[in-house]
Amino acid sequence: MNFWQTLPRPFFTVAPMADVTDAAFRRMIAKYSKGGRQAEPAASQPYVMWTEFVAADGLVKATPEGKKKLLADLIYSEQERPIVAQLFTSNPAHMGYAAALCRELGFDGVDINMGCPDRSIERQGCGAAMIKTPEVAHEVIKAAKRGAKMGERDGIPVSVKTRLGYNEDILEEWLPFLLAEEPAAVTIHARTRKEMSKVPARWERIARAVEIRDDMGSQALIIGNGDVLSQMDGRAKAKLSHADGVMVGRALFGNPWFFNEGRQLPTRLTALPTHGVNRDTIVTEDTEDRSVEYVTIEERLRVLLEHSQLFVELLPHKSFAVMKKHYKAYVSGFPDAAELRAQLMACDTPTEVKEIVHDFLATHA
């Protein structure tokens, strides 16, 4: 039995997002969402973490220095478990090697990226481009399962993250192909590659994916992804689609408390991603729940400082500019937020950030 089979349904998962859900942010989520899990409602726990996607080709062919940087993207803490390493390559041999490495590193699972729309990834025949080359996808999945020793006593499960199709929705052909390879789980971003995130996620297609899975008698779990803006919204989408799990992406920005039902951001402070979202498919809390302890602006900024410091400690090889996309989310929805955000965007070190935040708090006490 692998960890996927032990999860209560529906469960939440953290999306693999490049330069977002890195080791530093995952630890923030683990601390502020998962730290008090024994006292939290079962509906919000447990959840599964994904790493950023990592190039299997690089793990095989990179220089020692290059490989060291890639391995830094695979660091994790015990508090993040269950933790899944996401890999991409169109080379089966490289996938087998990388999956075996992730098993040796102690990951709970390996996930294959077959949905990323990034052009540089697609030029390598990876990410969403694999939807167009099912024969390659077939070999890559088999290699991952061999490297991960899926099904063996010391093995770990292999899953796939993908989309409805490339230019067109081909779920009825693409999903059965994937399920025939017997992955432990399939996460489906409910849009095509062509649609990116410009149209609302079609959760009725996640429901269709569950039907296809059931008709095939597959044991794979189906995880829906797209436009999940709150826990309530995620649970509603899971109920609508009968998905086993729900993946959360953009709504995590600036909100490491997302999975903590006892500690939440007030709606007015939440930088919710609404572009391209069908508001009729979203369920959010219209009024603030008096039983919930709401995160203050001061605490939000304190956590921003903690996140900044952790980033430079854990990921010194990365540009500090990566943190600025988080600042856009942490600093929003309150008086003078735009002015503070502009100052933070000009910072290059956590020391500068600390000085500016402390000055802001001193003048807004």
Q: Which residues form the catalytic set?
A: 116
Assign 20 to helix, strand or coil: coil
Picking from 133, 42, 155, 45, the residue whose alpha carbon sits closest to that of residue 89 is: 133
To the nearest 10°, report the CA torsion of 39, 241, 131, 138: 70
First to last CA, the chain: 53
**Cα 321 to the chain's mean position, in Å?**
20
Non-local (6+) Cβ contacts of 63 within 8 A are none
Partners of residue 163 on adjacent β-strands: 189
CA angle 255, 257, 260 (to 5 degrees): 150
Number of other residues whose CB lies within 10 A of the CB of residue 17: 18
Distance CA 122, CA 168 (A): 17
Distance CA 248, CA 281 (A): 15
Distance CA 126, CA 278 (A): 29
